[in-house]
Chains A and B, each alone.
Chain A
Amino acid sequence: MDLTLKIWRQANAQAKGKMVDYKVSNISPDSSFFEMLDILNQQIIEKGDDPVAFDHDCREGICGTCSLYINGRPHGPESGITTCQLHMRRFKDGDTIFVEPWRAKAFPIIKDLIVNRGAFDEIIQAGGYVSIGTGGTPDANAIPIPKYDSDKAMDAAACIGCGACVATCKNASAMLFVAAKVSQFAYLPQGKVEAKRRVQAMVAKMDELGFGNCSNTYACEQECPKEISVSNIAKMNREFLSAKLCGQTQE
């Protein structure tokens, strides 16, 4: 496959970036998108230029590190996968492919296609945990949990925090991410203890970091590589409303 790539290049956070055109030839349709970028970077290095910086780690679709906005969609044209799982057979010979970083005020660019997603870490630090004393391993079946609730919690916990929801949302809202993290605890008895404090603290942090407001366009659900449902957002709205109406004042 011969391809034209239009890639966002930006030397650092302060520099002004721009789209730069590259050509790659003889790309196997069976190669992954990242392998194609590796080939491109090898070409760039051989010319003595700075290779394209992009985030990647496991390349197995489980770590949530990769973050490319390809032809107007986070993680590219295929649904339910991360960028590292995208293969070149999804493109046609002669295609022009636009590759951009996630765009959001809360995700500043570090270099080229790499953005700082530390905002997600700050949201987790605000309440995305369960405060339990350490000790002996508790019996897994000591607390009965309805199958429906455990399934819902597990579905929400599938979120890998890649940020595709923010990248695709027209408002750069982080609601799906925060909702998944709130729900995974709120469905379980261990998480219910701190549920009211948690949802208020995490939403407050999300707002403070400059993410946009959710307007229920549901693009996040469409683009989530783990197919997290927007029903988690409704769940978080219920949790938030309940916390505001019935909960104690936030600490």
Chain B
Amino acid sequence: MSNSIVHYASITKKITMSIIGLFLAIFLLIHLSINLLLLSSDGGKSFAAAADFMGTNIFIQIFEKVLFLAFILHILLGIFLWWYNQSARPIKYVKPNVSTTSSGSKFMIHTGVIVFIFLILHFLNFYLVKIGVVNVPEGAASQHDFYTMAQMLFGNVFYSVVYIISFIALGIHLNHAIQSGFQSLGLEHSKYTNFIKGLSTVYAILIVIGFSIIPIYFLIAA
């Protein structure tokens, strides 16, 4: 089967993947900044206000649709590229490859699948509750009471461990993805490429630590 299966060149797919990926990376920062309000000692008031703004602002509503589309495209394109790349070497080596590679780059599909499974869980616990598809969990005041929902979920050790593992997988994914996105867009130069690689790692660590301290905080509080 030709690589022009979707009538776009391999580099076009790479560029598309990187633009979407970098867009999702920016979204993660916004999500993190709101989630960190859960740590505020005001009993969730500031978090509720931020969640209310996100749920009612017209621009955010449009952004949400673009975000869904970006996630779906990123996932589908990722699976397609992985499948196609597998077919480019139908007979594998007897002795596995031991060449040095960019950190995490060999595990993009694996870490991506972990994050995808977590996304389904995340949708079931929050988004589908918000739009009324899933019943409001007992204890939460309404379908918009995300603070109580988060408090109850993070009080569960098993959920919190799954949450942290998912974000470690996302961190490994991001560590390669950010600098790879710049490379795919052709944004490479001896002047700044090392900075981008460092930024990629710092960003990945920030995301893992930033999201992980929330369940740890609630576990300790519980």
- The interface on chain B, measured as residues whose beta carbon lies within 8 A of the other chain's beta carbons, has a size of 44
B186 partner residues in chain A, CB cutoff 8 A: 234-235, 237-239, 241
| Count of A interface residues, CB-CB < 8 Å | 49
Tell yes or no: B40 within 8 A of A by CB: no
Residues B9 and A203 in contact, CB atoms below 8 Å apart: yes
Chain B residues near A187 (CB, 8 Å)?
none
Q: Is the CB of B56 closer than 8 A to any CB of chain A?
A: no
Give every chain B residue within 8 A of A239 (Cβ-Cβ): 186
Q: From the candidates B81, B89, B94, name the one contacting A6 in the complex (CB within 8 A).
A: B94
**A69-B93, A210-B3 given as contacts; is B183 within 8 A of A237 (CB)?**
yes
| Contact status B85-A213, CB under 8 Å | yes
- What is the interface of chain A mostly: helix, strand, loop, or mixed? mixed
How many Å from the CB of B52 to the closest CB on chain A?
40
Flag if B97 contacts A207 (CB, 8 Å).
Answer: no
Tell me if A168 and B11 are in contact (CB < 8 A): no
Which of B102-110, B124-132, B160-168 forms part of the interface with chain A? Answer: B102-110
Which of B10, B90, B179 has the most chain A CB within a 10 Å cutoff? B10
A73: chain B residues within 8 A (beta carbon): 97-99
Distance from B91 Cβ to chain A, minimum over Cβ atoms (Å): 6
Interface flag for B12 (CB, 8 Å) = yes
Q: Contacts A172-B89, A200-B9 known; list 7 others, CB within 8 Å.
A: A71-B95, A170-B85, A171-B89, A207-B2, A214-B10, A216-B176, A217-B101
In the assembled complex, 30 residue pairs joining A and B whose CB atoms fall closer than 8 Å, in A order, are A6-B94, A19-B94, A72-B98, A105-B90, A106-B88, A203-B10, A207-B3, A208-B4, A210-B88, A211-B3, A211-B88, A212-B88, A213-B84, A214-B10, A216-B176, A216-B179, A216-B184, A217-B105, A218-B102, A219-B97, A219-B99, A222-B99, A222-B100, A231-B188, A231-B190, A234-B187, A234-B188, A235-B188, A239-B186, A241-B186
